[in-house]
Chains A and B, each alone.
Chain A
Amino acid sequence: MCGIAAIFAYNYPALDIDRSELRAIRDHMAARGPDGFGEWFSDDQRLGLGHRRLAIIDPDERANQPMVSQDGKLAIVFNGEIYNFRELRRGLEQRGHYLRTESDTEVLLYLYAEKHEAMLPQLRGMFAFAIWDVERQKLFMARDAYGIKPLYYADDGWTLRVASQVKALLAGGKISLEPEPAGIVGFHLFGSVPEPFTLYQQIQQLPAGHCLWADEQGVGEPQQWFSIAAQYVPAGTFLRPGEVQQAVTAALLDSVRAHLVADVPVGAFLSAGIDSGSLVGLMRDAGANDIQTVTLAFDEFEGSANDEAPLAEQVARQYGTQHTTRRVGRQEFEQDLPRIFQAMDQPSIDGINAWFVSKAAAEQGLKVAISGLGGDELFGGYPSFRDIPKWVRWLHLPGAIPLLGRAVRAAVAPLTKPLGINPKVAGMLELGGSWEGAYLLRRGLFMPWELPALLGTEMAREGLRRLQPLAWIRSAMQPRPTTDFARVACLEASVYMRNQLLRDADWAGMAHSLEIRVPLVDAQLLADTAPLALQDAQWNKQRLARAPSRPLAGEITNRAKTGFTTPVAQWQAQRSPQTTSRAGSDLRPWSQHVFRAPASSGLEQGGIEFPAHG
C-alpha cells in the first residue's frame, strides 16, 4: 500500500523542483509506508517522485520505489495492489520481457511501455500511480475503477504536485489555502467531500476510473476509462435461478482468491453481518487455512443483544479462524479523537469504526485485512434500494409541476425546526420525484436550503453553483441504467461508497499502516455479477450468504435484516455542541464538530471564517 508523491515543474518559467518540498510531502505519509522510502529526480531537476512503502508483495528491497525501468525510460510510484499481476507478468514474459523483481510495480512499468492508458482495463486491483515517461516527457497518472486508492493533485499553472493525501500536499507548504466552496458545501450535503473537489481550490482528486496526462503544456482533463453504470447492461443469455447462484458463487470466489495474493498474512475484519462472515467462509474455500480475524465490540453493549462479539465468535469458530475480539469504550474514543482528526485526510462524518477495527488488526500484527465493504452496494443491502424507487414513482408527476415543489419547500422549511420534524420533509416534493433528488434526500446530511445558515449566504451560493449537486449525483448514472436496482446501485457505489466509505477505509487503515482489501469492490466481480443482478428477481444479500461452501448460520443471515448499531453515534453526539436542529440525522451536530476541528479540516489555518453556531 503506500504513499506516493510527485512534483513536476512543467511550465518553463517555473522554478526547478525543491527536493525538501518533495520530502516533506512524502514523509507526511510515513504511516502509509513505514517499511521504506525513496526518491527519484529527472536529470533536468524538473520532475521528482517520492514514495513511502508498506511492503506486502515482494517485500525485498529490490522492489522499493520509485522504480525505474531497466532501459531508464520510465519511472513509477505506485500505491495499491494489482491482484492479477502474476498472470500479467506471465503474459509479459511470453512477449519477451525480462522482469527483475517479483513485484506488481514492475509489471505496471512494462504494461505502460506496451500500451499506455490502454493498460488500465487489464488491471485487477486497487491503485493510484504516476509514471514519468522520459522519452515523451509526459507524466501519466491513473486511479482504479472504483476509486479505492486516492490520488490528489494541485496544479498552480507552473508546477504540478501529486500525493496520496490532501494533507501531505499541504505539508509541502507551496499550495494555496484558498478554500473550495464546492468541497465545503459538498461535505455539508453528503457528510464527506465529493470528488473531484477537496476543501481547497487548488487541490483536486483525480476521479475514480480516470487517468490524467501532464506535460510541458500543462495538466489535461481527466479521462474516464471505467464507468460503474456501464457495467449494468443486460447479458445476452439468461440463466436459470439455480445457475445464478452458481455464477455468483464462482465470481465471488474468484474475487476473494484474487484478493488473497500477498507475501504477508492476510487477515479479516469480522462482524456479525453477512458480508464479512461470507468473505471469511470464501477465504477458506479459496484455500486460506490460517486466517486471523478481528471483531470490534463495545463495552457499552457487553452482554446485550446489540453485542456483535458472540455471533462473530460463532462465525470464527465455524470457519476455524484465530479470532480476537477487541473491546472499545468511550474513554478510548475520547483519547483517540485528536489522532483521529489528525489522520482524517478530509473531513468525514464517519470512519470511527474503521479507525478502531484497523487499530485492533494492527495490534494483532496484521498488515493486510479483508473487509466486507461494498456488499450493500453490490447486493442491494441498503434501505435506499427500496425507498428511492418508491419515492420517484410517487412523486414523479407532482414533482414535475413547475415551481410547486419549490413553493411547498419554501413554505414548509421554516416550520420544520419549531415542529421538530426532519428538515428533509420540506423538500420531498421538490426533490423526491427525480432519482438524483431522491438520493440527496435519502443520503443528505443537510439540505441545500439549510446551508446559508450554516456557512453564510455567499459560501452556500457559490458552493452550490460550483458543485451542482443534482447534476453531480446524476453523473453516476451515466450511461443510464435500465432498472431501478441498477440505478440505486450506481448511486450508492459512486456517491456514498466512493466518497465516504472508501475514503474512510483509506485514512483509517493507513493511519495504522494497515492495508484494507475489499473483494466486494472489484471491477471484475461487478462485470460478472451486474448482468445477473438485472435478471434475477431474488438478487439480495442471501446470494452472498449462500456463496461459501459452508454457508453462514441462520442467526447471522436473519440478524442482518434488523441491522445493528454501535455506540459510536452516541459518543459522537455527546461530543458535539447541541446547537443545530435536533431533528434530522444524529450526525448533523457531529459533522459541525468535525468540520470546525482545525486538525480535520485545516481550514481555520487558511483563515476562513464561518457564521457562529445556531
Chain B
Amino acid sequence: MGDAKIRVLALVPDAFGGYGGVALYLSDLLAATASNDVVKEVVMLARNPVPGDAALPEKITVCAVRGGKAGLVLGLFKRLAYDRDFDLVLCGHINFLPLAIAAKLFTRAKLLLMIYGIDAWTSPDSRLGRWSIKQKMKVVSISEHTRALFCGWSAIPASDVAILPNAIRVENYGIAEPDEALKTRYGIEGNRVLLTLGRLSAQERYKGVDEIIDVLPDLLRQYPDLVYVVAGDGDDRERLMQLAADRVLTNSVRFVGRIDENEKAAHFQMADAFAMPGRGEGFGFVFLEAMACGLPVVASKLDGSREAVRNGAIGLMVNPDNREELVGTIAHALDLPKQIPDGLEHFAFAQFEKKLAAIYGSMGLGRS
C-alpha cells in the first residue's frame, strides 16, 4: 500500500444498495477500483442516497449530497471548493458527462465514462450532451454491442473504449432445491416454472415478455403444468397483465412484482429455465445470475445478452422475432437439467478486477 496515491472522484446515479443493473455494476466497479493497490481513495457522489446499512468496501468515502440531479451538482461543487486533488473522474452514467467534464476541468484529472445499454446507443438529445461527448476521455462499455452502437454515433474510436462485462460472484448463488414456501406464495406448487426478471418499463419494452406471452399457448400444449413467472416492476406491468388476461392466460402467468435482493437467488432456484429474449439489453447481468443458479437460459441474438451467454457457448440464443425458434428454444431449455455451465467462471470478479486494473494502467494511472 506504500505507493497508493491515486484519488478517484466518482459521479454515479447509485451504487451500493441501489436497485437495478447499473447500481450493481457500479458497486463492482467501485469495489474493484478501491481494491486496486495504486488507489488511495474513492470519493463517491451518488444521485440516489446510499442506504445507511449498505456495506462499503474500504477506501470508499461517500460524499453526502441531497438527492436528485440538482443535489448532485451542488454537492459536487461544494466538494470541489476545498478538494480538487483527484487523478481520475469516474463518470458513472452518460447523463452525468457534462458534470464530469466540469469536474475534470477543476481537477485536471483524467476522465473515464461508463456506458451500459440504451442510454448510450443513440446520440444525446441535448446540445450540451452532444458537446460533452466530443471531449477527450476513455470509455468503458459493458458490452461490445453497446460499444459498436456508441462508436457508431459518437466520434470516439473503438480503441478508446474498453469492454468490461459484469462480474458474477458465483459463491453467492448455486443450485438448490426450490423453496416450497416461495412456490406456495405464488400458488405454483408442483408446476414447471419459466422465469423472466427485469424492470418492466413502458418506454423501453425490451425484455421480451410480450414475445413469451405470445408463444405461451404453444408451450402449454407441450407442458400443461408450465407457469410463466414475471418478476420485476414498472409502468408496463399493467399492460402486460392485461395482455395475459386478453389471451386467457391468467392461470399460467404470475406477475410477482419487484423482488427483494435477498430473495433473488431463491427465485432463480425455484425456476426450471430463464428466458429474456429482448432487444434492449446492454449486457444482461441477470443471465449470469440465472446461470450461477444452474438455470438453462434463453438470451437474445439481437442485443448484448448474446455476450452474457458467450455467444451461445454457455446459454441458448434466439431471434425474438422468430416465433418458431422461440418456442423450440424455450422448450429445449425447459428440458435441460440444471447445471452451472463451464465457462461461467470467465465472468469471475477476480477477472473483472484484473481487467479494470489494466484499463487504469493503460490510462497511466499507476501500475497496471
Measured between beta carbons, the chain B residues less than 8 angstroms from A176 are: 148
**A interface size (C-beta, 8 A):** 19
Question: CB distance A178 to B148 under 8 Å?
Answer: yes
CB closest chain-B residue, reference A214: B159
A156 to B146 Cα, complex, angstroms: 11
CB closest chain-A residue, reference B143: A157
CB distance from B353 to the nearest CB of A (A): 11
A151 to B181 Cα, complex, angstroms: 61
A13 to B163 Cα, complex, angstroms: 10
Question: CB distance A221 to B159 under 8 Å?
Answer: yes
Question: CB distance B355 to A12 under 8 Å?
Answer: yes
CB distance from B365 to the nearest CB of A (A): 13
Measured between beta carbons, the chain A residues less than 8 angstroms from B147 are: 157
Specify which of A15, A157, A216, A220 lies most central, judged by the most chain B CB atoms within 10 Å of its CB. Answer: A157
CB distance from A197 to the nearest CB of B (A): 12
A217 interface residue (CB < 8 Å to B)? yes
A158 to B165 Cα, complex, angstroms: 10
Question: CB distance B162 to A218 under 8 Å?
Answer: yes
Question: CB distance A219 to B351 under 8 Å?
Answer: no
CB distance from A196 to the nearest CB of B (A): 10
CB distance from B121 to the nearest CB of A (A): 13
Question: CB distance B346 to A13 under 8 Å?
Answer: yes
A218 to B359 Cα, complex, angstroms: 10
Measured between beta carbons, the chain A residues less than 8 angstroms from B157 are: 221
Measured between beta carbons, the chain A residues less than 8 angstroms from B311 are: 15
Question: CB distance A217 to B162 under 8 Å?
Answer: yes
CB distance from B284 to the nearest CB of A (A): 13
Majority SS at the chain A contact face? loop
Question: CB distance B310 to A157 under 8 Å?
Answer: no
Question: CB distance A158 to B163 under 8 Å?
Answer: yes
A45 interface residue (CB < 8 Å to B)? no
Measured between beta carbons, the chain A residues less than 8 angstroms from B162 are: 217-218
Residue from B144, B355, B358 in contact with A157 in the complex, judged by beta carbons closer than 8 Å: B144
Question: CB distance B144 to A219 under 8 Å?
Answer: no
Question: CB distance B358 to A216 under 8 Å?
Answer: yes
Residue from B141, B143, B148, B362 in contact with A201 in the complex, judged by beta carbons closer than 8 Å: B148
CB distance from B297 to the nearest CB of A (A): 15
Question: CB distance A217 to B359 under 8 Å?
Answer: yes
B307 interface residue (CB < 8 Å to A)? yes
Residue from B144, B343, B359 in contact with A158 in the complex, judged by beta carbons closer than 8 Å: B144
CB closest chain-A residue, reference B308: A13
Question: CB distance A217 to B362 under 8 Å?
Answer: yes
A202 to B148 Cα, complex, angstroms: 8
Measured between beta carbons, the chain A residues less than 8 angstroms from B202 are: none
Those of A277-317 within 8 Å (CB) of chain B: none
Question: CB distance B159 to A11 under 8 Å?
Answer: no
Residue from B310, B358, B359, B362 in contact with A13 in the complex, judged by beta carbons closer than 8 Å: B310
Question: CB distance B163 to A12 under 8 Å?
Answer: no
B67 interface residue (CB < 8 Å to A)? no
CB closest chain-A residue, reference B347: A13
Measured between beta carbons, the chain A residues less than 8 angstroms from B346 are: 12-13
Contacts A155-B158, A157-B143: A15 and B310 contacting too (C-beta < 8 A)?
A: yes
Question: CB distance B144 to A156 under 8 Å?
Answer: yes
B313 interface residue (CB < 8 Å to A)? yes
Residue from A15, A202, A219 in contact with B159 in the complex, judged by beta carbons closer than 8 Å: A219
CB distance from A66 to the nearest CB of B (A): 26
B187 interface residue (CB < 8 Å to A)? no
CB closest chain-A residue, reference B153: A462
A12 to B354 Cα, complex, angstroms: 10
A6 to B265 Cα, complex, angstroms: 41
Measured between beta carbons, the chain B residues less than 8 angstroms from A12 are: 346, 351, 354-355
CB closest chain-A residue, reference B359: A217
Residue from A158, A178, A217, A221 in contact with B307 in the complex, judged by beta carbons closer than 8 Å: A158
Measured between beta carbons, the chain A residues less than 8 angstroms from B343 are: 15
CB distance from A514 to the nearest CB of B (A): 35
A176 to B165 Cα, complex, angstroms: 20
A201 to B307 Cα, complex, angstroms: 19
A176 to B143 Cα, complex, angstroms: 15
What is the 8 Å Cβ interface bit string for chain A, positions 133-160, against chain B (1 contact, 0 not)? 0000000000000000000000111100
What is the 8 Å Cβ interface bit string for chain B, positions 70-81, against chain A (1 contact, 0 not)? 000000000000
Question: CB distance B158 to A13 under 8 Å?
Answer: no
A219 to B163 Cα, complex, angstroms: 11
B224 interface residue (CB < 8 Å to A)? no
Measured between beta carbons, the chain A residues less than 8 angstroms from B307 are: 13, 158
A221 to B362 Cα, complex, angstroms: 12
B328 interface residue (CB < 8 Å to A)? no
15 contacts between A and B (CB under 8 A): A13-B310, A15-B310, A155-B158, A157-B147, A158-B144, A158-B163, A158-B307, A176-B148, A201-B148, A202-B148, A217-B358, A217-B359, A217-B362, A219-B159, A221-B159
Q: Which 9 A-B pairs rank lowest in CB-CB distance, beginning with the nearest?
A: A157-B144, A157-B163, A13-B346, A221-B159, A12-B351, A217-B358, A156-B144, A15-B313, A157-B147
Which of A's residues lie within 8 Å of B, judged by CB? 11-15, 155-158, 176, 178, 201-202, 216-221
A158-B307, A201-B152, A221-B159 known, 12 other contacts, Cβ within 8 Å = A13-B307, A13-B351, A15-B310, A15-B311, A15-B313, A157-B141, A157-B144, A157-B158, A201-B148, A217-B162, A218-B162, A221-B157
